[in-house]
Amino acid sequence: MNFRAIALGTALSLTLAAPFGAGVAQAEDSNYVPLLTYRTGAFAGSGIHIANGMNDYLKMLNERDGGIGGVKIAIEECETGYDSQKGIECYEATKGKGALVYNPYSTGITLQVIPKAAVDKIPVLSMGYGLSAAAVGNTFPWVYNVPVTYWDGASVIIKYIAEQEGGLDKLKGKKIGYIFLDAGFGREPIPLLEQLAKDYGFELVQYPVPAKEMQNQSSQWLNIRRDRPDYMVMWGWGAMNPTAVKEAVKTRFPMEKFIAAWWSAGEEDAGAGGEAAKGFKTLNFSGVGTDFKALGDIKKLVVDAGKSQTNPETFGGALYNRGVLNSVIIAEAIRTAQEKTGKKVLTGEDMRIGLEALNLTEARLQEIGLAGFAHPMKVTCEDHAGSHPVFIQEWDGKKWVKATDWIEPMKEQVRPLLEAAAKDYAEKNAPWPARTEACPN
């Protein structure tokens, strides 16, 4: 072996070893929050904004307040690429560092992490995604999908369509198309939609879009053109969204009758259709725009200070704000856990208490500089989602505007179905552990 080979080998070893030495060191006086994010791959278009929003809010708390309760937050991102296998690798690589909570940002990863949560005693926060049945707190004490489940969201869309038609009874005989990413995420609301179709007599026509065909949807939209549904509902993510909007415009589907879930609410999603996509609607549960005091603090202390990866042009966008709300829930759960346990540096078990006792009131939202940014939300031991109201936003050709007030989900229909689904999940995954954790409320 010559000198050159030795030098090259040494340099390579040092390069490969560097990330392990330079990782986030979890100090004993900090609360460690790993963020499972994706800034690369086919879904990066959506994932980057969420990752930025989550990161920036937590960084702002560190900069402005020195963390939460005087304890800094140690933030570490782990890149999943929206891939379940990589997501689990991230989970396993970070759980030993004292992780307080996991935000998988993928229904596929969430489904894999759920059985691990009770074993590792680290709660999972799947804010507005993941397994809808996890809302049943007594079956899933370690999983939180506040403020709303997919099933709640789907019920809001059906309720909104009924309002346009003049009442739920007017849905009879209507045809509602459902175009969705053919993955755990997109398939999740189908049981609820099928049940509502049965209850109200509308026909549900499904149009699955395989992940590898996200940017090649012409067949699905040809079918839609042939079937002529009265309304289209979409559960899309990543590159699927802008392609669907473009195809809808191309096939001349009436955009005002095209309503999507909150994960299609990005500016690039509707923007792909431009002016012609005017009228396209999505659900939303987080603030629109930058006119919030806390966002001003983020801008000043993190983005303008060069401590963020956020492109200033996308600051305050719909998905960025969604990421901010996710971190608001994390931060408020940490604060609640500190109050409930009397400890400053927390464990996953403490964090579970904080999440289960979370009560984000209007007054509290005002206090943290986010008045009107989200609907007040409360978690109970029985209900980890809370079925909180959401609103509908509409694309005006250039930007999103709020199109409705807060709309309550159809709780009476959704809750029994969630409970049945939770029971079914526990039976299929027997022996599913019975709840032993005390209720902190």
Check residue 129 for interaction with another protein (CB under 8 A). Answer: no
402 near 288, Cβ under 8 Å? yes
- Coil vs helix vs strand at 86: helix
| Continuous segment of H or E residues that includes residue 341 | helix 318-341
235, β-bridge pairs = 180
Q: How far is the CB of 398 from another protein (least distance, A)?
A: 14
List 140, 178, 180, 207, residue binding another protein (CB under 8 A)? 207
Among 42, 181, 318, 351, which residue sits at the site for another protein (rule: CB under 8 A)?
A: 42
Please list the helix, strand and coil fractions of the chain in percent, rounded to the nearest 5, in that order: 50, 15, 35
| Nearest distance from C-beta of residue 212 to another protein, angstroms | 4
* Dihedral angle sign, alpha carbons of residues 127, 133, 134, 135: positive
HSE (CB half, 13 Å, CA atoms) of 239? 14
In this complex, which beta carbon is closest to another protein, that of residue 149 or of residue 220?
Answer: 220
In the complex with another protein, the residue whose CB is nearer, 271 or 440, is: 271
**Which window, 119-127, 169-177, 223-231, 358-366, contacts another protein (CB under 8 A)?**
223-231
Distance in angstroms (rounded) separating the CA atoms of residues 311 and 315: 7
Q: Which of 60, 101, 181, 214 binds another protein (CB under 8 A)?
A: 214
Question: Is residue 85 close enough to count as binding another protein by CB under 8 A?
Answer: no
Which 8-state DSSP code applies to residue 393? E
Question: Does 118 sit near another protein (CB under 8 A)?
Answer: no
Residues 185/129, Cβ–Cβ less than 8 Å: yes
Contact range with another protein by CB under 8 A, out of 106-114, 135-143, 171-179, 216-224 = 216-224
Reference 270, options 41, 42, 45; nearest CA is 45
Residue 314 corresponds to which amino acid? Answer: T
323 near another protein, judged by CB under 8 A: no
> In the window 238-257, what residues touch another protein (CB under 8 A)?
238-239, 242-243, 246, 250-252
Looking at beta carbons only, is 177 or 348 nearer to another protein?
A: 177
Contact between 272 and another protein (CB under 8 A)?
A: yes
Binding-site member from 206, 380, 404, 413 for another protein (CB under 8 A): 206
Kindly write down the DSSP assignment for every residue of 51-83, as one continuous string: HHHHHHHHHHHHHHHSSBTTBEEEEEEEE-TT-
Site string for another protein, 163-192 (x = CB under 8 A): -------------------x----------
Q: Enumerate the β-bridge partners of residue 407.
A: 390
Residues in contact with another protein by CB under 8 A are 38-45, 47-48, 182, 206-208, 210-216, 218-219, 222-223, 225-226, 238-239, 242-243, 246, 250-252, 268, 271-272, 311
